[in-house]
């Protein structure tokens, strides 16, 4: 691995080539809002921002009237083609993910793989949008439910998963018959344009309206327009709890639906019986991977007192040799933070942790400052804390792992649950009763509860999302599709009589 960071010209060329290969037109890359790469902190392109979401909403609504009549399996065929295109252009899209979000190549390709996987899932789903039939209490009556397309879905996504989270929503929304208007993070517009270009190509090739996919580039003000637009029937937003606290009530105010994926403050309990080799690997990937910038990132290790020193020592050894650097270079495991504000949060959180009695065991320092003064590389930090003080209860979107200790398992569960967020959690143990307890109603209160695996890196298939301040939304797998459809309950009377339910007599 080299400590050299590529210059602006090299990265711009790579970005432009990848975007154009995916089908983005050159003029879309010559706008007036510069796009900065976290790799060197310098511009790699420039895009234009939309002034309003109205035109996109209008186009999406017009496309909806056509799309909702296309049979779901035929909609699935479009997603199948989209998945094929994603496979063909995986490397290009991966390059853009690395350049805009700062992910290492393997994780960037993994993000695109997650897109391909949700396409596969959605294709199967397109033949399984099942409703139930119920037995009627009345003779000669049939009771059933039918699922229909809902309408335009708005998606607001974050920089850290610039395309996968949109795909979770879009692959399902499209097979469910809904168009999508997408406001990506203003930090990752090129990746968004490239993903949209591939989806539009799949639509075009299969003779369907391209307008079911809309991208609107802009900042929070544009996102707010989407939130408040009465044409948006479901608003799916990924971001901070602070953002969700505004978005949720605003959408509810107009009786829209919202699907919120907000902050996480994920913990792993490490019990005395744990396989420590496995625990160390699971912890390091979850805590330091993606430079600590996943909503599922491991932020708290709750370790039994009897093994805390040993585990801290082993983590410290790994943290000291984690390869930090250019995410596109071979061998790098930790890329840059997204921007200066992430760097400031990291520094501030470490200072506060020390004030609250913590001691930094490893990392935290800025690296490669001379090679890339505008970028923010940090060695992931490992901090031992005396308890779950205020900073440990906050989500700092940076690679800081707080190590806490516990004495009995009930205390570990209590610590896991004693934060406002409820996204992901894990237990490392070989004691089956402990594992089951952690998974039980008395156990972790999170939306994701794992055994002998870290908190991040969920696969497609399971519903993804969390409880409490994480917002309660569920995306991607299982029956998450239901959020994108409206349910009609149908009572059909073929008896020729009119018996009323509940035995009501209304003879006229």
Q: How many residues bind ligand UN1 (CB under 6 A)?
A: 11
Residue by residue, DSSP assigns 464-480 as: E--EETT-S--EESTTG
Q: Other CB atoms closer than 10 Å to residue 287's CB: what's the count?
A: 29
Catalytic residue among 114, 261, 367, 475: 261
Which residues, listed in sequence order, are joined to residue 324 by a DSSP beta bridge?
334
Least distance from ligand UN1 to the Cβ atom of residue 457, Å: 5
Q: Does 168 bind ligand UN1 (CB under 6 A)?
A: no
Q: Sheet containing 485-493: which strands, arranged edge to edge?
A: 133-134, 141-149, 485-493
Integer Rg of the chain from CA: 24
C-alpha 497/C-alpha 140 separation (Å) is: 8
Least distance from ligand UN1 to the Cβ atom of residue 110, Å: 8
Q: Does 456 bind ligand UN1 (CB under 6 A)?
A: yes
CB closer to ligand UN1 out of 45 and 239: 239
Sole window of 160-168, 187-195, 310-318, 484-492 interacting with ligand UN1 (rule: CB under 6 A) = 160-168
- Nearest alpha-carbon partner for 363 in 272, 288, 304, 285: 288
C-alpha 402/C-alpha 412 separation (Å) is: 14
CB closer to ligand UN1 out of 294 and 379: 294
Q: Determine whether 261 is an active site residue.
A: yes
Token duo for residue 258: 């919202």
Q: Does 165 bind ligand UN1 (CB under 6 A)?
A: yes
Least distance from ligand UN1 to the Cβ atom of residue 238, Å: 6
CB closer to ligand UN1 out of 167 and 405: 167
Residue by residue, DSSP assigns 69-115 as: TS-HHHHHHHHHHHHHHHHHTHHHHHHHHHHHH---HHHHHHHHHHH
CB closer to ligand UN1 out of 126 and 296: 296
Phi then psi for residue 438, to 5 deg, are: -65, -35
Residues 258-317 that bind ligand UN1 (CB under 6 A): 294-296
Token duo for residue 213: 């996919």
Least distance from ligand UN1 to the Cβ atom of residue 51, Å: 28
Least distance from ligand UN1 to the Cβ atom of residue 411, Å: 27
CB closer to ligand UN1 out of 188 and 456: 456
Site string for ligand UN1, 76-115 (x = CB under 6 A): --------------------------------------x-
Residue by residue, DSSP assigns 224-283 as: HHHHH-TTEEEEEEES-HHHHHHHHHHHHHTT-EEEEE----EEEEE-TTS-HHHHHHHH
Q: Does 238 bind ligand UN1 (CB under 6 A)?
A: yes
Least distance from ligand UN1 to the Cβ atom of residue 101, Å: 11
Q: Pick the binder of ligand UN1 from 248, 380, 457, 473 (CB under 6 A).
A: 457
Binding site for ligand UN1 (CB under 6 A): 114, 160-161, 165, 238, 294-296, 456-458
Where in the sequence numbering do the catalytic residues fall? 261
């Amino acid at each position: 691995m080299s400590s050299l960071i590529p210059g602006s010209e090299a990265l711009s060329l790579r970005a432009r080539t990848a975007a154009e290969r995916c089908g983005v037109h050159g003029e879309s890359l010559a706008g007036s809002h510069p796009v900065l790469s976290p790799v060197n902190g310098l511009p790699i392109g420039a895009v234009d921002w939309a002034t309003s979401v109205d035109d996109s909403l209008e186009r999406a609504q017009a496309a909806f009237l056509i799309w909702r009549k296309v049979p779901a399996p035929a909609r699935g065929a479009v997603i199948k083609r989209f998945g094929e295109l994603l496979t063909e252009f995986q490397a290009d899209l991966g390059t853009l993910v690395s350049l805009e979000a700062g992910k290492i190549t393997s994780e960037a390709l993994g993000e695109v793989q997650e897109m391909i996987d949700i396409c596969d899932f959605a294709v199967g789903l397109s033949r399984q949008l099942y409703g139930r039939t119920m037995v009627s209490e009345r003779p000669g009556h049939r009771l059933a439910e039918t699922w229909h397309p809902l309408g335009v879905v708005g998606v607001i996504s974050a920089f850290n998963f610039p395309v996968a989270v949109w795909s979770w929503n879009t692959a399902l929304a499209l097979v469910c018959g809904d168009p999508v208007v997408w406001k990506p993070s203003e930090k990752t517009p090129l990746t968004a344009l490239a993903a949209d270009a591939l989806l539009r190509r799949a639509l075009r090739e299969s003779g369907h309206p391209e307008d079911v996919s809309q991208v609107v580039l802009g900042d929070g003000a544009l996102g707010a327009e989407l939130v408040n637009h009465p044409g948006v029937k479901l608003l799916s937003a990924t971001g901070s709890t602070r953002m969700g606290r505004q978005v949720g009530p605003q959408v509810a105010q107009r009786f829209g639906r919202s699907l919120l994926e907000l902050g996480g403050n994920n913990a792993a309990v490490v019990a005395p019986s744990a396989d420590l080799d496995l625990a160390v690997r699971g912890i390091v990937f979850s805590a330091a991977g993606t430079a600590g910038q996943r909503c599922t990132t491991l932020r708290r290790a709750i370790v039994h007192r009897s093994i805390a020193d040993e585990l801290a020592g082993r983590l410290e050894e790994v943290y000291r040799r984690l390869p930090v650097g250019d995410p596109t270079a071979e061998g790098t495991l930790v890329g840059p933070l997204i921007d200066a504000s992430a760097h400031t949060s990291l520094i501030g959180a470490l200072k506060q942790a020390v004030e609250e009695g913590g001691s930094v065991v490893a990392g935290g320092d800025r690296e490669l400052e001379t090679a890339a003064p505008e970028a923010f590389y940090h060695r992931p930090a490992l901090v031992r804390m005396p308890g779950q003080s205020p900073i440990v209860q906050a989500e700092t979107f940076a690679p800081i792992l707080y190590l806490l200790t516990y004495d009995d398992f009930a205390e570990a569960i209590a610590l896991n649950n004693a934060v406002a967020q409820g996204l992901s959690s894990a237990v490392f143990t070989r004691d089956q009763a402990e594992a089951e307890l952690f998974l039980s109603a008395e156990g972790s209160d999170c939306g994701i509860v794992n055994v002998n695996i870290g908190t991040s890196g969920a696969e497609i298939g399971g519903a993804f999302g969390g409880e409490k301040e994480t917002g309660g939304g569920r995306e991607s797998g299982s029956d998450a599709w239901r959020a994108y459809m409206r349910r009609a309950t149908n009572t059909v009377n073929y008896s020729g009589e009119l018996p009323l339910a509940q035995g009501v007599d209304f003879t006229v």
